[in-house]
Amino acid sequence: MLKKAQFFIVILMVSVFSTTVMADEFAPRQVVEEFQNQLISVMKQGKSLGFKGRYEKLDALVRKSHDLPKIARIVVGKQWEELTSDQQNKLEAVFSKLSVSAYAHNFKDYSGESFGFISEEETGRGGVIVHSNLQIPGEKDVKFDYQMKKKDEGWQIMNIIADGVSDLALKRSEYTSVLSREGFDALIAKMNEKIESYAAQ
């Protein structure tokens, strides 16, 4: 059985197989901390809320704190330009639903976890990385690096790196592979199957 620290790394690496409004003036650290605080809050209520309740609590939060449409475009790489407008819209919608469903499914239990801020640094392209860790009682901390970009709506999460492993890189490798081998419809079908499996558990 995976240790809890390993579990929290795994659940952030969501593959296609397997309401708080962030004010524009919020700094990157504030966006990340608000997101983390709400995750912990949902975890504490996880069992009583059930999947549907957790999804409803996290939906607006995840969509506001993460630039999900942009992430969806990045994870399919250059193949994005080969999709029709309808396909692009569908991919963004299903990807967003899958992302929220993954959080709702995986952040459902609480045993004393807490997030702690480490530092914040600017990148060379106008972005910011917020370094923090997940403290798990009795286990080694898990380091999280949140790569942030400034949008019209404020700062948003573009990628999460857990103990050096990039969620965005893993998704891009997997999504582009499915598109190349099996096509768009197969990718959407696999994503929807995963959403259904999350809701059923």
Q: What is the CATH number of the domain that holds 30?
A: 3.10.450.710
What is the model's pTM?
A: 0.85
Q: How far apart are CA 157 and CA 166, in angstroms?
A: 13
Q: Is residue 188 a part of any domain in this protein?
A: yes
Q: Which residue segment(s) compose the domain that 56 sits in?
A: 20-193
Q: Is residue 149 a part of any domain in this protein?
A: yes
Distance separating the N- and C-terminal Cα atoms of the chain: 18
Q: Is residue 14 a part of any domain in this protein?
A: no
Q: Is residue 6 a part of any domain in this protein?
A: no
Q: How far apart are CA 13 and CA 164, in angstroms?
A: 12
Q: From residue 172, how far is each of 16, 46, 73, 184 by CA, in Å?
A: 11, 30, 9, 14
Q: What is the mean pLDDT of residues 1-14?
A: 51
- Asked if residues 100 and 63 have their Cβ atoms less than 8 Å apart, the reply is yes
Number of structural domains (the chain) is 1
Q: CA neighbours within 13 Å on the CB side: how many for 23?
A: 4
Q: What is the mean pLDDT of residues 40-46?
A: 95
- Give the model confidence (pLDDT) of 77-90 as tens digits: 999 999 999 999 99
Q: Is residue 199 a part of any domain in this protein?
A: no
Q: How far apart are CA 96 and CA 48, in angstroms?
A: 24
Q: Which of 6, 47, 31 has the alpha carbon at shortest distance from 201?
A: 47
Q: Is residue 12 a part of any domain in this protein?
A: no
Q: Is residue 13 a part of any domain in this protein?
A: no
- Asked if residues 43 and 113 have their Cβ atoms less than 8 Å apart, the reply is yes
> Which amino acid is located at 167 in the chain?
D
For the four alpha carbons of 97, 102, 103 and 105, in that order, the dihedral sign comes to positive
Question: Exposed e or buried b for every residue in 6-37, given b needs 16+ CB within 10 A?
Answer: ebbbebbbbbbeeeeebeeebebbebbbbbbe
Range 88-91 contact pairs with CB under 8 angstroms and sequence separation of 24 or more: 90/188, 91/184, 91/187, 91/188
Q: Is residue 32 a part of any domain in this protein?
A: yes
Provide the pLDDT confidence category of residue 26 given band limits of 50, 70 and 90: confident
- Give the model confidence (pLDDT) of 105-151 as tens digits: 989 999 999 999 999 999 988 899 999 999 999 999 999 999 999 98
